[in-house]
Amino acid sequence: QFLILYSLLIHCKFSKTTFPTFSREIDDDSTVLHCCFFQLSSLGMDPVILAGGYATFAQRYPFLCTPKMILLVNECKAITIYPSEILENALYQGTAEQATNYKVIKNLHITHILNVAAEIPSAFPAIIRYLNFKVMDDMNEHIEDILPTATEFIAEALQADCRVLVHCNTGKSRSSAITLAYLMEYRHWILKDAYEWLKKQRTCATPNMGFLKQLSVYEEKLFGKKLTD
């Protein structure tokens, strides 16, 4: 019980390294944190340690913090769920519900939205710059032609220090295909590395097999050869 409670207190992201790094604020507790980290890992959990502690997290994400103790099911249902942060303070991936929630858009400072859900209209055209594609989540749907335009839209926004939300309906398949294409083209990651990163940031990300095959072709186009099996 102690390990699980402690993991909840320290649960947040750290840099992608082979071993967690610690800030000065938690040096004194490093032995305990090491112990918790590896014991939780051995139980099949995926703990991460927040350098700087809760105060740092609360400063950056005050809208994710509350003084309330959430105990009841109804209280849990009332919690606002936010999109996944794919690239820190830059690129997010989520659902249609999140993309049409003004609270989410405001708190994350989203300025650009790439919508690949055929069934979802633009919610805030007066304050958000949109790029919309009517794509169906179907294995036979062709997306090759939209990938260059979609990735360029994201790249230009991020180069201007803006924040982009990519979404479809559930934030699993269509939006994942776009995010992967961006990571491949502008981060120069092969499909395998981009896919592993996306799954780490958003575990529900699951582009359908048709999209993955087209992304494999896109990888070959970008890098001159097929690099991912």
Write out the catalytic residue numbers.
Answer: 168
DSSP state string for the chain: -HHHHHHHHHBS---SSSS----GGGGGGHHHHHHHHHHHHHTT----B-TTHHHHHHHH-GGG--SS---SHHHHHTSPPPPEEEETTTEEEE-HHHHT-HHHHHHHT--EEEE--TT---S-TTTSEEEE------TT---TTTHHHHHHHHHHHHHTT--EEEE-SSSSSHHHHHHHHHHHHHS---HHHHHHHHHHH-TT----HHHHHHHHHHHHHHHSS----
